[in-house]
Structure 1
């Protein structure tokens, strides 16, 4: 049994491993939340969060009145999961906000990142590429979050950093949601966009960093079928 202090992301990783190893096969109905929460030693609320993360990534599929099943596409589903935050913001709203917020954050971070931070971004980008090839979707998105988070940490404006944190859950979901319909060419393009952002930040070119970040987020939104 896993330690009870483990976060939902750790449990999501365990379930992803079960799917990849064949312990849970495509079409299998996953055990009840009661059984699974006991197996992993976590609350049902934490388990639900883990299951929602895997559903967003296209590894699980919930059918009303039937339960939750392992998706047949192995993470390459025909459709994206339902948007989790529709009661408060549309996915379009979040992408539009990301363009404005992260574009300005990138501009203000340009020239301020240490070599260690730039190295972390390079490592995160390389990890994204490697984990996509291995279809470790959780680690792919975690590396993407690391990349964007480093830029935020270097932003000169404390209020913008705080604003980013207040919408981080919604931002994270826009980074996960397109994954099931992302083809290899788009993922490779996204990785190239990351490297262009790094180059602009390293050069201290705020206008270019903003432009590259805005382009990157717009392209991700297009992958999700949106044009913000």
Structure 2
């Protein structure tokens, strides 16, 4: 059975292709959610998730009372939509949370990871690099999130998994933002490769350090800078 996230990712990819092909040029109004859901043969819930992903990437914008429009230009960090969760959590808060928990999860994962896990992570990395090269940022963001959640799952720490799972929407949004840096999009794949190399070596310290560097650098690409003491 195909997961709802996979359905949403495919819907986002299709809409992105329509935009790239000029079916919906810059500034164009997208069809209503009902019509889009019918065209894509997906549920309204999956469509909303797809639109949220594209909006987070700056490819479409919402105009209250009017609908969804194709962005005039791909957003940059300086012109990106505001952090949607500012009323409850700052973007810095989220990256610091990820830094605190995901680094240690990577260390734990390196001590227990199995060959089958490594195979799945390699497949994810290959798909991520291909999506970035193809400009399919919606799929790239989904694969980025999946890479991190898999490592957290491998770590075996249920508390870390639960904390981050309960903040899934915040986590996913924080992982979309670095893709605004068009010139640095390949950096995500390169940093994931470094994490994977450390996991292949079953080196806990190297895995923790690689994850730490990745989160700090991803935060910087999203316009967030915070001291780590490292």
Report the TM range for the smaller structure's normalisation: 0.7 to 0.9
Residue 13 (1) aligns with residue 32 (2): no
Matches within 5 A, 1:125-204: 125-179=125-179, 181-184=180-183, 186-204=184-202
Say if 2:125 and 2:193, in contact at 8 Å, map to a contact too. yes
With structure 2 as the length reference, what TM-score do the two structures score? 0.85
Q: C-alpha distance in 1, partners of 2:30/2:200?
A: 46
- Structure 2 residue ranges without an equivalent (≥5): none
Q: C-alpha distance in 2, partners of 1:11/1:98?
A: 28
Partner residue in 2 for 1:88: 88
Structure 1 position 78, deviation (Å): 5.7
Structure 1 position 14, deviation (Å): 2.9
Q: C-alpha distance in 1, partners of 2:117/2:47?
A: 33
Say if 2:9 and 2:142, in contact at 8 Å, map to a contact too. no
Say if 1:29 and 1:67, in contact at 8 Å, map to a contact too. yes
Structure 1 position 44, deviation (Å): 4.8
Structure 1 position 211, deviation (Å): 1.4
Partner residue in 1 for 2:205: 207
With structure 1 as the length reference, what TM-score do the two structures score? 0.85
- Structure 1 residue ranges without an equivalent (≥5): none
Partner residue in 2 for 1:52: 52
Partner residue in 1 for 2:22: 22
Secondary structure of the 2:27 match is coil
Structure 1 position 88, deviation (Å): 2.2
Say if 1:120 and 1:147, in contact at 8 Å, map to a contact too. no
Count how many residue pairs are aligned between Structure 1 and Structure 2. 222
Relative to structure 1, the CA distance from residue 142 to residue 45 in structure 2 (aligned partners, 3 Å threshold; closer, same or farther) is closer
Relative to structure 1, the CA distance from residue 174 to residue 166 in structure 2 (aligned partners, 3 Å threshold; closer, same or farther) is same
Matches within 5 A, 1:53-72: 53-64=53-64, 66-72=66-72
Poorly superposed stretches of 4+, deviation over 4 Å: 37-46, 74-78
Q: C-alpha distance in 2, partners of 1:143/1:34?
A: 27
Secondary structure of the 1:83 match is coil
> Residue deviations 1:75-110, cap 9 Å, x none?
668622222222321111111100001011111111
Matches within 5 A, 1:68-79: 68-74=68-74, 79=79
